[in-house]
């Protein structure tokens, strides 16, 4: 199971997460988020990472030039677009920097599955190659990190694993429910922020480790 710990915005939390050895961390550059990380702090966090942990830059409705500037400044290879970015925006971004791996987050609300299908079909028509799709719960108050859950059991019925990019499940995951979520939704990966925190951006060592243990316990590669 591919595991990403998102919302790393201080060095203490970064050290905790690095010790737990997830597959990836998320650096949130959305200034309205309580987990926003300044570029200078992000640079210090990146220096702590071993090659085995992938840093992912998270952006919400940023200008393309702002994204590319941050990517170039920090040397990021993977980004997560968590706002209302259109397929045309992704196409322009990928055309300008083809080596950049793109993750697109989708907040499932009313007509969520149809909107997702339409979006991914347009991406295919434009020749956009997505590293992964991240599914989160819709909220009118925020672009993520709300702790809201999506209906896990609906995912196998609607998500075309064979035709669409690898699926990353997010939204309200904790060490107590991630195994159940994986069993019901069959994702390629999981993403957690608030579920391993004592407060926004403050990761708890024991909680982080418990989450990784619970998620990996449901990894098909480790099951009999």
Active-site residues, by number, are 6, 136
Q: Where are the beta strands (DSSP E) in 60-166?
A: 78-81, 101-108, 132-137
Phi-psi group of 147: left, alpha or beta (phi > 0 → left; psi -120 to 50 → alpha; rest → beta): left
- What span, in angstroms and rounded, lies between the C-alpha atoms of 207 and 19? 13
* CA proximity to 104, closest of 116, 112, 92: 116
- What span, in angstroms and rounded, lies between the C-alpha atoms of 22 and 37? 19
Contact 201, 11 (CB under 8 A): no
Q: Return phi, psi of residue 37, to 5°.
A: -120, 125
Q: How far is Cα of residue 188 from the mean position of the Cα atoms in its chain?
A: 12
Length of the chain in terms of residues written: 224
Contact 183, 156 (CB under 8 A): no
- What span, in angstroms and rounded, lies between the C-alpha atoms of 12 and 198? 13
- Count of alpha carbons within 13 angstroms of residue 99, beta-carbon side: 5
């Amino acid at each position: 199971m591919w595991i990403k710990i998102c919302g790393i915005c201080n060095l203490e939390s970064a050290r905790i997460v690095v010790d737990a050895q997830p597959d990836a961390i998320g650096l949130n550059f959305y200034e309205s988020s309580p987990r926003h990380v300044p570029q200078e702090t992000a640079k210090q966090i990146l220096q702590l990472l071993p090659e085995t942990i992938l840093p992912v830059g998270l952006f919400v409705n940023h200008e393309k030039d702002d994204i590319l500037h941050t990517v170039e400044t920090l040397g990021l290879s993977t980004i997560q677009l968590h706002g209302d970015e259109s397929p045309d925006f992704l196409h322009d971004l990928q055309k300008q920097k083809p080596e950049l791996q793109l993750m697109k987050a989708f907040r499932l609300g009313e007509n969520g599955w149809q909107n997702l299908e339409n979006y991914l079909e347009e991406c295919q028509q434009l020749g956009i190659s997505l590293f992964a799709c991240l599914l989160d719960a819709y909220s009118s108050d925020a672009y993520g990190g709300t702790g809201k859950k999506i209906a896990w059991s609906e995912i196998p019925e609607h998500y075309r694993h064979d035709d669409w990019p690898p699926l990353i499940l997010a939204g309200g995951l904790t060490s107590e429910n991630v195994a159940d979520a994986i069993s019901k939704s069959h994702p390629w990966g999981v993403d957690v922020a608030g579920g391993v925190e004592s407060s926004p951006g403050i990761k708890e060592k024991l909680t982080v480790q418990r989450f990784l243990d619970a998620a990996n316990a449901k990894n098909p590669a480790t099951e009999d």
